[in-house]
Amino acid sequence: MKHIYLNLKRFDISPANGGVNRIAPMKEWAKYIVDNTQENLKHYNNCEFVMYMPEAHLIGAVNTLKSGTPLEIGCQGVYRADTAVGGNFGAFTTNRTANAAKEIGCSSVIIGHCEERNDKMGLLAEAGVVGKEATKVVNRILNQEIKVAEQAGLKVLYCIGEKSEELDVWDSVLGEQLEIGLDGVNKNNIVIAYEPIWSIGPGKTPAGKDYITKIAKFVKEKTGGIDIVYGGGLKADNAKMLASIDEIDGGLIALTRFSGEIGFYPEEYLEIIALYLN
């Protein structure tokens, strides 16, 4: 099966406030995106489509889904603990639990995105925990998040990746993220997203086909064949190249336009999917 994921990050903020939402009024944002994509996605067989929405828009997105749609809605992270019968009844102020996401109508969650990893590393640095010990702690916390997500019935897109200063030891970095992050989890509920952090962003050289293929083969060997998607940004420019890599099972889309009025646009999202799947 192929997997196409869409991470809408904080794209629900208007340009007046530093954001990139130019497509719809804020209260209609999620509805507009779902309405303008779900029917067209029915044209594709054997492909999973998941949109990860900011928390304020999850209910609106779920309520916009039509019967028979191939589109699923997911959340952008879950807390490492959760409610339980006879246990914690919901004392998790500021933290979204997996059970809450499931009851809202989410079916999937993205865990370990480089932005989440950076946030956790920053918190540990404030406490004086840095270097290899900090990365191990982060991987252990992400492992806890995966387990509570699975317990709640959510599928997981687990992100891994190496930074520029880790290129010489990429195999040990990614190997540790996989070994610790996936320890004791049900791998049938997991898809891996590979983020070449060193190549993401303006002015950086994108990862090439040979490098991506090398990583994908490594991940499949380490995990026993778990599906892996390219998390460095599935775009119109690289869709055909990624589609030509047998070991890559899909991609993670964020921005669809990288110049001019940058941002996410539904029609461009559908164009990228057509380029990749056709």
Alpha carbons 99 and 82: distance in angstroms, whole number = 7
For strands 47-53 and 108-111, give the pairing: unpaired
What average pLDDT score do residues 247-255 get?
A: 97
3-class SS of residue 2: strand
Residue keyed to tokens 């336009």: 257
Per-residue confidence band for 202, with pLDDT thresholds at 50, 70 and 90 = confident
Per the structure block, which two tokens stand in for 85?
């019968």
Give the single-character DSSP code of 242.
Answer: H
Is 90 exceeded by the pLDDT of residue 203?
Answer: no
Average pLDDT over residues 144-171: 98
Using CA atoms, how far residue 212 sits from 144, 204, 253, 256, 275, in Å, is 28, 16, 16, 21, 19
Catalytic residue, candidates 57, 113, 116, 162 = 113
Q: Dmax of the chain from CA atoms?
A: 54
Predicted pLDDT of residue 258: 92
Q: How far apart are CA 150 and CA 75, in angstroms?
A: 13
Helix (H) or strand (E) holding 192: strand 190-194
Domains contained in the chain, CATH given: 2-277 (3.20.20.70)
| pLDDT number for residue 222 | 98
pLDDT band at 201 (very low <50, low <70, confident <90, very high): confident
Rounded to an integer, what distance in angstroms lies between the CA atom of residue 228 and that of residue 246?
Answer: 11
Q: How confident is the model at residue 80 (pLDDT cuts 50, 70, 90)?
A: very high
Q: Could you give phi then psi for residue 216, rounded to 5 degrees? A: -60, -40
Question: What is the distance between the alpha carbons of residues 258 and 68, in angstroms, rounded to a whole number?
Answer: 32
Q: Which two tokens stand for residue 199?
A: 């190549």
Tokens of residue 264, six digits: 């996410």
Mean pLDDT of 133-152: 98
Task: Tell me the residue type at 76.
Answer: Q
Q: Is the pLDDT of residue 173 over 90?
A: yes
Query: Which residue among 116, 145, 150, 195 is the active-site one?
Result: 195
What's phi and psi for 121, nearest 5 deg?
-65, -35
Catalytic annotation on 113? yes
Helix axes 170-181, 131-151, angle to 10 degrees: 40
Q: Does residue 148 contact residue 78 with C-beta atoms inside 8 Å? A: yes
| Residue range 88-106: mean pLDDT, rounded | 97
Token duo for residue 214:
């090398």
| Percentage of the chain lying above the pLDDT 90 cut | 98
Residue 38 pairs with which residues in a beta bridge? none
pLDDT tens by residue, 98-113: 999 999 999 999 999 9
Put residue 260 in one of left, alpha, beta given phi > 0 → left and psi -120 to 50 → alpha: left
pTM for the full predicted model: 0.97
Q: Is the pLDDT reported for residue 167 higher than 90?
A: yes
Is 195 catalytic? The answer is yes
pLDDT surpassing 90 at residue 137 = yes
